[in-house]
Amino acid sequence: MSWIATTFEGVWVYEPYIWHDRRGYFYESFNQSTLPESLQKIQFVQDNEALSTRGVLRGLHYQLPPFAQSKLVRCTLGEVLDVIVDIRPGSATFGKSLSVILNDISKKQLFVPQGFAHGYIVLSESAIFSYKCDQFYHPQAEAGIRFDDPQLNIDWILPPSECIVSDKDQQQELFVQHKPFVKE
C-alpha cells in the first residue's frame, strides 16, 4: 500500500495492495497508522455512502469554516471521475482542479483536505461512492460552486446531455462568486 502526494498541497492518493487468490481478494481500505505523517492527526467522525446511476454528477460541494471537512473518498462499486477544486486563497493551486478516476478495480482512494470543493460523476452503469469525513455535516455551513463553471473548465468526460444534476447543484454560484474559504 502506498500514499502518493499530488501536486496539490495536502492532497494524497492512496493505492492499496490487494491480495488476490481463488476465493477473491482482501485489502485494507483504511488503517490510521499508515497515514502520511501530515495526516496522522485526522480523526474521522462520519462515514457517508451514495448510490447513483450513470451520468449522476454531484458537486462541487464544501463546508465553510469552522465546519470545513477533510474527506477520504473511494468508489466501492463501479467507476467515477472524482474532481476537486482548490478554494484556498493564497494557495499555489488556487482555482485549479484535479481529477482522478476511482473504481472498484484499483480500489484507489483520494484524500481531500479542508479548503477544496469536491464533486464526482458516475461513469459506470451505477456506482457506490463512500467517504470518511473529519467533521460532521452542518447544513448552515454548506456551500458550493457550479460544476460547469467556464472559468474552471472541468472535463467531466460525459457530454452535458448525459449529466444528471440536482436542481440545487445547477443553482450553485460561479467560482468568482463563491463564498470565500478562510480558515478561522
Give CA–CA dist 113/120, Å, rounded: 16
Instruction: Give the pLDDT confidence of 89-133 residue by residue, as tens digits.
Output: 999 999 999 999 999 999 999 999 999 999 999 999 999 999 999
According to CATH, what is the number of the domain 43-177? 2.60.120.10
Predicted confidence at residue 159, as pLDDT, reads 96
Element at 18 (helix H, strand E): none
Give CA–CA dist 113/165, Å, rounded: 24
Q: Are 115 and 86 in contact (CB under 8 A)?
A: yes
Give the start-to-end residue ranges of the domains of the chain: 43-177
Cα–Cα distances (Å) from 149 to 59, 95, 132, in that order, read 12, 11, 27
Give CA–CA dist 76/102, Å, rounded: 9
Q: Is the pTM of this model over 0.85?
A: yes
* Catalytic residue positions, numbered: 61, 131
Instruction: Give the pLDDT confidence of 12-51 residue by residue, as tens digits.
Output: 999 999 999 999 999 999 999 999 999 999 999 999 999 9
